[in-house]
């Protein structure tokens, strides 16, 4: 059967190629879009967790998408947080989304930030000591080809890069909290607080104490940030569903079209197979296996196309985070195969049900 | 169902009883067969002749289980294929029948070898490379053409591949629909000789539909049809020979 399938596909190379490319397109579309959206989300979570806090305190209506919030919590809340039993340290952070550069900057208080975070390390230069100094991470520095002491424009003001830190902590650009408050027009305000619990105290206990003390605020465990972000990111789930649907639909329609036209062209061949005693299930398997082979090659090509597109995107936008998990690879392959199989099912059943005499007489 | 001739017991391979076939085209009923009865015995070579539209091909398709009759009965080795399910009819076709068509009906995407192997695989016998297959291929003069695609073969060669494909599973009956209809006289003769040889050497039961008097003359018995009925049995060399032997 495999030889027959292979020879049929070789006999119609253009249609086979178009079908394979279409399946690959569906796979690549799903993987690239998921890779970019999940990449952004996973990267945000990783860097938030990189700050080192165990909890994030925000106003009750705030989003865990930091870029969507402005600074509304008074900085003096820090002292109240640190008075809660089991809290080691708290640090205020003002997040500001730079629309023109499409990334977020954090305003940090170096002293308290240092008490919450213990992993900030520099590959070049050091912490800022002046209001108009910033520190940037290695990815930002590499993508902008910047180094310590280089000038950097933020919100229409010129800063000097005082140091380049290893990426994975907070934002790609960190600047003094007071400076960002001033530029943002929100003096003494923070977007959120990162809170570190004492090591000897159980996190759950600290969490309950914080919730009790700040009942009108939202307390998020940083360990659960990814799950919470997926649930609360606007239209994220709808976007994922739409992407999966589009991917399946592309495979379904293309395979349906290809297989439908192929069985029409091969009506006589189906009649011959029936005259040889091929059962209905044999004909169905023949058509389904043919579509499976197209889908399998399409999935492989889709993976390759995804790799190429991601490499090109990374070369063009080095700060772009991309995360294509095994789950999404398997999902993309499964969706392509499901769409292809569903698309081939109707033509396969139609072929199996053909009247052999009419099929043999088909010209 | 069977007949004692001396010590030889010849089975009835095909028994057709009061076979009727009516095609329905919209609300119009077109009778193709109007009560056909005949029997074909094991090892018999029968030719069915008659003008176009007399019901020859319909008869062949009914015997081959490709069609279901409107009424009447067809027994293949004692099994009524007119009353079994589609699945069972397919099974009988796969295990007990071989078809040869006027237009060869080889799969163009496969080589001669692969076309023959396909019939073997569909029957569930795996590879065709066994001794008997080689004998048949040698007899059909196809040994050097096995890796050619159908379009690389002459009409005669294609029909020989089609015959090899039809008999490779050693079917109980070989059904041939105008097997020489598309061939020149030389190739026709060659194909007919091969059918004759298959019949005489291997005892292959053969029913052919033909317009060709030469093809009809190759058969042991000729059944003439007109307007969906059997007119007469023009010749019955088979019975004559059996009677002579007995």
Q: For A138-163, write each residue's pLDDT tens digit.
A: 988 988 889 999 999 988 899 999 99
Give the Cα separation of B31 and B49 in Å (integer).
Answer: 18
Strand B173-177, strand B97-100: pairing: parallel
The structure tokens listed for A107 are 């305003």
- Half-sphere exposure of residue B29: CA atoms within 13 angstroms, side-chain side: 7
Indicate if the alpha-carbon torsion angle A351, A352, A358, A363 is positive or negative: positive
Taking 70 as the threshold, does the pLDDT of residue B2 lie above it?
Answer: no
Angle A280-316/A13-51 helices, nearest 10 degrees? 50
Chain A interface, mutation test: which of B76, B109, B121, most A Cβ atoms within 10 Å? Answer: B109
Task: Report the alpha-carbon angle B13-B15-B21, nearest 5.
Answer: 130
CB A210 within 8 A of CB A57: yes
The answer to whether the beta carbons of residues B245 and B227 sit under 8 Å apart is no
The answer to whether the CB atoms of B90 and A280 lie below 8 A apart is: yes
Q: What would the two tokens of residue A296 be?
A: 């399998």
Among A283, A285, A294, which Cα is nearest to A256's? A294
Average pLDDT over residues B147-156: 88
CA-based nearest distance B115→chain A, Å: 9
Of residues B61, B87, B119, nearest to A276 (C-beta):
B119
pTM for the whole thing? 0.72
Q: What are phi and psi of A171, to 5 degrees?
A: -115, 175
Residue B99's beta-bridge partner residues?
A: B175
Q: Tens digits of per-residue pLDDT, B173-231?
A: 999 998 888 888 888 888 898 889 888 888 899 999 998 888 888 899 999 999 999 98
β strands within A101-169, DSSP E: 103-108, 122-125, 133-137, 151-154, 157-165
Q: CB of B85 within 8 Å of any CB in chain A?
A: no
Residues of chain A falling short of pLDDT 50: none
Nearest to A277 among B86, B94, B106 (CB): B94
| B110 vs A7, A280, A360: nearest CB | A7
| Predicted confidence (pLDDT) per residue in B64-117, tens digit | 988 889 999 999 998 998 888 888 888 888 888 999 988 888 988 888 888 888
ipTM passes above 0.90: no
Considering only residues 265 to 294 of chain A, which have any Cβ-Cβ distance to chain B shorter than 8 Å? 268-269, 271-280, 282
Partner-chain residue, chosen from A3, A271, A276, that has the shortest CB–CB distance to B114? A3
How far away is chain B from the Cα of A349, in angstroms, using its nearest Cα?
15
Residue B90 sits at the chain A interface (C-beta within 8 Å):
yes
Query: Which residues from A are below 8 Å from B91, CB to CB?
Result: 277, 279
Q: Is B86 within 8 Å of A280 when comparing Cβ atoms?
A: yes
CA distance B6 to chain A (A): 36
Expressed in angstroms, the distance from the first to the final Cα of chain A is: 24
B89 to chain A, minimum CA–CA distance in Å? 9
- The DSSP symbol for A187 reads T
Interface subset of B 35-54, CB within 8 angstroms of A: none
Q: Could you tell me if B122 lies within 8 Å of chain A, comparing CB atoms?
A: yes
CB of B109 less than 8 A from some CB of A: yes
């Amino acid at each position: 059967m495999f030889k027959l399938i292979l020879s049929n596909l070789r006999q119609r190379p253009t249609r086979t190629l178009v079908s394979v490319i279409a399946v690959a397109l569906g796979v690549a579309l799903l993987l690239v879009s998921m890779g970019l959206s999940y990449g952004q989300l996973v990267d945000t979570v990783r860097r938030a967790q990189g700050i080192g806090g165990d909890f994030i305190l925000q106003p009750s209506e705030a989003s865990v998408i930091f870029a969507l919030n402005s600074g509304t919590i008074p900085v003096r809340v820090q002292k109240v947080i640190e008075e809660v039993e089991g809290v080691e340290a708290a640090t205020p952070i003002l997040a500001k989304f730079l629309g023109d550069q499409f990334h977020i900057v954090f305003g940090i208080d170096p002293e308290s930030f240092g008490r919450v975070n213990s992993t900030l390390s520099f590959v070049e230069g050091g912490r800022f000591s002046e209001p108009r100094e910033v520190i940037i991470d290695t990815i930002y520095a590499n993508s902008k080809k910047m180094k310590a002491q280089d000038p950097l424009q933020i919100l229409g003001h010129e800063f000097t890069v005082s140091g380049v830190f290893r990426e994975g902590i907070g934002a790609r650009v960190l600047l003094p909290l007071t400076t960002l408050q001033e530029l943002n027009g929100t003096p003494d305000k923070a977007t959120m607080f990162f809170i570190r619990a004492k090591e000897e105290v159980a996190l759950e206990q600290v969490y309950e104490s914080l919730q009790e003390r700040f009942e009108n605020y939202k307390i998020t465990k940083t360990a659960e940030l990814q799950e919470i972000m997926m649930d609360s990111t606007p239209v994220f789930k709808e976007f994922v569903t739409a992407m999966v649907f589009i991917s399946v639909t592309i495979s379904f329609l293309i395979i349906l079209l290809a297989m439908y036209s192929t069985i029409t062209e091969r009506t006589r061949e189906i009649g011959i197979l029936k005259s040889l005693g091929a059962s209905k299930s044999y004909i169905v398997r023949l058509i389904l296996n043919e579509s499976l082979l197209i889908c399998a090659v399409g999935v492989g090509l889709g993976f390759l196309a995804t790799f190429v597109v991601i490499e090109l995107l990374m070369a063009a936008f080095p700060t772009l985070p991309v995360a294509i998990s095994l789950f999404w690879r398997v999902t993309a392959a499964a969706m392509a195969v499901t769409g292809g199989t569903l698309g081939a099912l109707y033509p396969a059943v139609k072929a199996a049900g053909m009247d052999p005499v009419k099929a043999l007489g088909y010209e | 169902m069977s007949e004692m001739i001396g010590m030889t017991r010849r089975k009835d391979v095909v028994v057709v009883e009061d076979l009727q076939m009516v095609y329905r085209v919209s609300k119009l009923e077109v009778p193709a067969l109007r009560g056909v009865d005949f029997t074909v015995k094991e090892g018999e070579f029968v030719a069915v002749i008659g003008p176009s539209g007399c019901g020859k091909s319909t008869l062949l398709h009914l015997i081959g289980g490709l069609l279901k009759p409107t009424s009447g009965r067809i027994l293949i080795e004692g099994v009524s294929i007119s009353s079994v399910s589609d699945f069972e009819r397919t099974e009988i076709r796969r295990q007990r029948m071989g078809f040869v068509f006027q237009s060869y009906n080889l799969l163009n995407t496969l080589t001669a070898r692969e076309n023959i192997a396909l019939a073997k695989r569909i029957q569930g016998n795996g590879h065709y490379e066994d001794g008997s297959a080689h004998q048949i291929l040698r007899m059909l003069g196809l040994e050097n053409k096995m890796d050619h695609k159908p379009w690389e073969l002459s009409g005669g060669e294609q029909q020989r591949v089609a015959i090899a494909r039809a008999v490779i599973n050693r079917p109980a009956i070989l059904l041939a629909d105008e097997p020489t209809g598309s061939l020149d006289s030389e190739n026709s003769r060659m194909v007919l000789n091969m059918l004759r040889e298959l019949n005489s050497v291997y005892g292959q039961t053969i029913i052919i539909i033909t317009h060709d008097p030469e093809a009809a003359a190759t058969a042991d018995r000729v059944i003439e049809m007109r307007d969906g009925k059997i007119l007469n049995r023009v010749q019955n060399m088979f019975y004559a020979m059996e009677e002579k032997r007995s």
